[in-house]
Amino acid sequence: MDRTQQLQQWLQQVLDQPFTLTTASADASFRRYFRVHLPTQTLIAMDAPPPQEDCRPFVRVAEQLLAAGLNVPKIVAQDVTQGFLLLSDLGNDTYLSQLNRDNAKALYGDACQALIKMQLATQPDALPAYDAALLMRELQLFPEWYVSKHLGQTLTAEQQAVMDKTFGLLIDNILQQPQVTVHRDYHSRNLMVTADNNPGVLDFQDAVIGAITYDLASLFKDAYIRWDEEDLMDWVVRYWQSAKKAGLPVTADFGEFYKDFEWMGVQRHIKVLGIFARLYHRDGKDGYLKDMPLVMQYLQAACERYVELRPFLRLLLTLEKAA
């Protein structure tokens, strides 16, 4: 029996009424999502194959975020042994599909308020720490998958030293930032436009306790949508003012906060290039290749602005030229 048949069998037991299934979405992991059509409503079924995925973090984090007042899917039924969850349906309207010049300020304003709510509800011991070891594991995806597999390059000892020094600088900065609940993928594909308590928030199972700028960098330096620098700066300022007013431990000086935001973005984009390369070369998923140029633009622009990161910028440009 394949996974879809197993899921249908489980749903028959749980629902005890007629239903049909359509594909809702798949993501970069092994998880799949189906829309369950019932006579009076729709629900979402998550299929997370146990050898590769674990449903329990999703259930745990969903409870925490619901308690914090966020609009996340409610768990209707669960079978974590089989890797099945039945969830409330937050609809089809992702931020990515709905954002435009006219509504961006309002939609991002809502996303920032939800983010602040989540950060204020931080319980330091409730989630794993986004520590130096995890940050470094993520950064190492870049030399392994992007440089070696994707570009076919081998680093010289000198280039390796530049990379090691840059990674050390980034990790030091990130660990010194205030630590809060971090969604870890807070961007336009995982935020849903909803009529009440906008936005709906998805894909939070990898949440950790980490740097306060991480989700902000995911939101505004989004791999799937680009905005002008002035807009981006304006929205980050608005978040910073609201966060300060709410009592979050943001840096008092905005210039310093913006630098932290940019450096956090650099770490994230180095990691994302590695992940996108791995999705293509290991998993055969080529859909993310088209998003690589924007991620690289973000990365190069941020490295250009900070003297400490310019050696890494020169390395990026050298690798690109040689590829």
CATH of 3-88, picked from 3.40.50.720, 3.10.180.10, 3.30.930.10, 3.30.200.20, is 3.30.200.20
Q: Above 80 in pLDDT, residue 125?
A: yes
Can you list the pairs that 239-247 forms with residues at least 24 positions away whose Cβ atoms lie under 8 Å? 239/112, 239/115, 239/116, 242/112, 242/113, 242/116, 243/116, 243/119, 243/212, 246/116, 246/120, 247/120
Average pLDDT rounded to a whole number, residues 221-225:
96
> For position 20, what pLDDT does the model report?
94
Q: Above 90 in pLDDT, residue 260?
A: yes
Cα→Cα distances 230→104, 220, 227, 264, Å:
13, 12, 8, 19
Contact residues for 19 (Cβ-Cβ < 8 A; gap 6+): 11, 36, 37, 38
> For position 27, what pLDDT does the model report?
61
Q: Above 80 in pLDDT, residue 1?
A: no
DSSP letter, residue 55: S
Which of 197, 254, 206 is CA-nearest to residue 31?
206
In the chain, what percentage of residues exceed pLDDT 90? Answer: 92
> For position 39, what pLDDT does the model report?
93
Q: Above 80 in pLDDT, residue 51?
A: yes
Average pLDDT rounded to a whole number, residues 185-201:
97
Count, residues in the chain: 323
3-class DSSP assignment, residue 137: helix
Average pLDDT rounded to a whole number, residues 177-200:
97
Average pLDDT rounded to a whole number, residues 293-319:
97
Assessment of whether the complete model's pTM goes beyond 0.75: yes
CA atoms within 13 A on the CB side of 88: 11
Average pLDDT rounded to a whole number, residues 52-79:
95
> For position 132, what pLDDT does the model report?
98
Average pLDDT rounded to a whole number, residues 242-260:
97
> For position 322, what pLDDT does the model report?
81
E strands in 131-220: 179-182, 191-192, 200-201, 208-211
Fold type of domain 95-322: Aminoglycoside 3'-phosphotransferase; Chain: A, domain 2 (3.90.1200)
Yes or no: say if 84 and 78 are a contact pair by the CB < 8 Å rule.
yes
Contact residues for 222 (Cβ-Cβ < 8 A; gap 6+): 187, 188
Encode pLDDT of 11-43 as tens digits.
Answer: 999 998 999 999 987 666 688 999 999 999 999
Can you list the pairs that 50-58 forms with residues at least 24 positions away whose Cβ atoms lie under 8 Å? 50/81, 50/82, 50/83, 53/29, 53/83, 54/80, 55/80, 55/83, 55/84, 55/85, 56/80, 57/205, 57/206, 57/207, 58/85, 58/204, 58/205
Q: Above 90 in pLDDT, residue 115?
A: yes
Average pLDDT rounded to a whole number, residues 40-69:
93
> For position 323, what pLDDT does the model report?
73
Record the tokens describing residue 136, joined without a space. Answer: 């470094």
Domain boundaries, the chain: 3-88, 95-322
DSSP string, 240-301: HHHHHHHT----SSHHHHHHHHHHHHHHHHHHHHHHHHHHHHTT---TTGGGHHHHHHHHHH
